[in-house]
Amino acid sequence: MSALPPDSSVLTFKDARRVVEEQAALVLAGKVLARNAQAGAREFEDLLAAVGRVLAEPVLADRDLPPFARSTRDGYAVRSADLKQVPATLEVIGEIKAGARAENIPSQIAKGQAASIMTGAPVPAGADAVVMVEYSSQDGERVDVTRGVVPGENIVPRGAEARQGSLLVDRGMRLNEVSLALAASVGKARLEVYRRPRVAVLTTGDEIVDVNATPGATQIRNSNCYSLASQILSAGAQPVLLPISPDEPVKLRQLIELGIRSDLLLLTGGVSMGRYDLVEQVLTEMKAEFFFTGAKIQPGRPVVFGKCGAGSSSGGTYFFGLPGNPVSTMVTFELFARPMIEALAGQAAKKLAFLHARLKSEIRVKNGLTRFLPAILSGEFENSEVELVAWQGSGDIAAAARANCYAVIPPDRDVISEGEWVAVMMR
């Protein structure tokens, strides 16, 4: 049997995360070829179908934004100098609606004149401010104005938001409502996006049976492949579910060989210290490279990260061996697999950042591990509070389902008092 990787490859959480980020950066830079994703595979999608996809082309302003000096209020387009002394009375020479054609826009606002103007309408030449309708009263062709304005008030100048040809959204952005709106605003009805990477899920364990099977007394239904599939989808990739592998090296190796044809392989189970935890052993026999074989976290300590088939023409496939305990699987996916999937999907890197909330009741743990404990974030507005849920450990999916986040406990803390700010990882 080949030697297993040494124990020294158990890293702190931050070091392990950094190792993944480094590899993800190589993928993103194109230094490491992925089979279908980053290696240039792109496709066009209609705007509506592009939400959640990663942009493969830069979106540029097709014209100045706004394309004309835009009034941000209903009111009167005026010369601010005419309102140095208020109240003042101005002559109303026209009405400008949003979308007004050139022939319906006064060509010039002269001294002592104003034009009634609507929000989103073009400000006519000569006017340098818009006074809000609230500060005016019109009687026929005269308007009395009770408030002064500074030059530029209530006007967005032409091109102030973006100049024609300037970059609005760069490639690598995952499309959300804002970037879609921006793309629509510059007339991009179709967008070039990266193909979704394919992520294989290989469940291991003699005790694991399919959801449709009737489990024997000591068998467990395969839930991890569903949590992983849902996380893979939310990370912007396509799950490829492989058959369940027994804890038997020949079959396991066959399925790993199938799995590494995808862009990424996620294994679940079989990475702990038990006699039948064969994942590392089989991958070692396959000459896999291991970046780490554990992280000082709870849950999820036995997590493994590596690359298999580095000598092949494709440059190899990254894999994560995620622990089989369901909550460990979910947490280690979030911490480590997600950033790699995002890179394979062509998405620009982002740091893992946590929100903070006040702790509702004291936490006592042993220090040494970074903990991601199922918790409930509650409270309202700026008074967010967080509280751990009672659980039976990392196999307890029911507790995880009562939670809506993870409280993050740093490795150097053993007592955290009620009322302290703690980091929260949303899910």
Q: Which residues bind ligand AMP (CB under 6 A)?
A: 203, 205, 207-208, 220, 222-224, 268-272, 274, 277, 323-326, 395
Q: Which is nearer to ligand AMP, 109 or 225 (CB)?
A: 225
**Which residue is listed with tokens 């409270």?**
379
Indicate which of ligand AMP, Mg ion, none lies near residue 332 (CB less than 5 to 8 Å, by partner kind).
Answer: none
**321 is a contact residue toward Mg ion (CB under 5 A):** no
How far is residue 298's CA from residue 355's CA, in Å, rounded to a whole number? 19
Indicate which of Mg ion, ligand AMP, none lies near residue 306 (CB less than 5 to 8 Å, by partner kind).
Answer: none
**269 is a contact residue toward Mg ion (CB under 5 A):** yes
Cβ burial of 141 (10 Å; 0-12, 13-18, 19+) is: exposed
CB of 212 to ligand AMP, least distance (A): 14
Indicate which of ligand AMP, Mg ion, none lies near residue 223 (CB less than 5 to 8 Å, by partner kind).
Answer: ligand AMP
**Those residues with Cβ within 8 angstroms of residue 19's Cβ, 6 or more apart along the chain or in another chain:** 11, 291, 292, 305
Q: Which is nearer to ligand AMP, 152 or 246 (CB)?
A: 246
Residue 198: alpha-carbon gap to chain centroid: 18
CB of 426 to ligand AMP, least distance (A): 24
Residue type present at position 55? L
**172 is a contact residue toward Mg ion (CB under 5 A):** no
Q: Which is nearer to ligand AMP, 179 or 332 (CB)?
A: 332
Q: Which is nearer to ligand AMP, 210 or 257 (CB)?
A: 210
Among 194-202, 221-229, 320-328, 396-404, which window interacts with Mg ion (CB under 5 A)?
A: 320-328
φ, ψ of residue 396 to 5 degrees: the values are: -90, 85
**Which residue is listed with tokens 């150097």?**
412
CB of 322 to ligand AMP, least distance (A): 8
CB of 16 to ligand AMP, least distance (A): 18
Indicate which of Mg ion, ligand AMP, none lies near residue 299 (CB less than 5 to 8 Å, by partner kind).
Answer: none
DSSP state of 391: -
CB of 249 to Mg ion, least distance (A): 13
Indicate which of ligand AMP, Mg ion, none lies near residue 411 (CB less than 5 to 8 Å, by partner kind).
Answer: none
Supply angle C-alpha 235, 237, 223, rounded to 5. 75
How far is residue 318's CA from residue 21's CA, in Å, rounded to a whole number? 13
Task: Give yes or no for a contact between 321 and 280, defined as CB atoms under 8 angstroms apart.
Answer: yes
- In SS3 terms, 53-75 reads as CEECCCEECCCCECCCCEECCCE
Q: Between β-strands 294-295 and 297-298, what pairing exists: parallel, antiparallel or unpaired? A: unpaired
Task: Give yes or no for a contact between 28 and 346, defined as CB atoms under 8 angstroms apart.
Answer: yes
Q: Taking CB positions, which residue lies at the least distance from ligand AMP?
A: 324
Site for Mg ion in 181-220 (CB under 5 A): 205
CB of 304 to ligand AMP, least distance (A): 11
CB of 41 to ligand AMP, least distance (A): 30
Indicate which of Mg ion, ligand AMP, none lies near residue 120 (CB less than 5 to 8 Å, by partner kind).
Answer: none
Task: Give yes or no for a contact between 190 and 47, defined as CB atoms under 8 angstroms apart.
Answer: yes
**Those residues with Cβ within 8 angstroms of residue 333's Cβ, 6 or more apart along the chain or in another chain:** 227, 228, 231, 266, 320, 322
Residue 331 is encoded by which pair of tokens?
Answer: 């947490």
Task: Give yes or no for a contact between 269 and 203, defined as CB atoms under 8 angstroms apart.
Answer: yes
CB of 306 to ligand AMP, least distance (A): 17
CB of 274 to Mg ion, least distance (A): 7
Q: Which is nearer to Mg ion, 78 or 208 (CB)?
A: 208
DSSP state of 220: E
Q: Which is nearer to ligand AMP, 229 or 424 (CB)?
A: 229
Site residues for Mg ion per CB under 5 A: 205, 269-270, 324
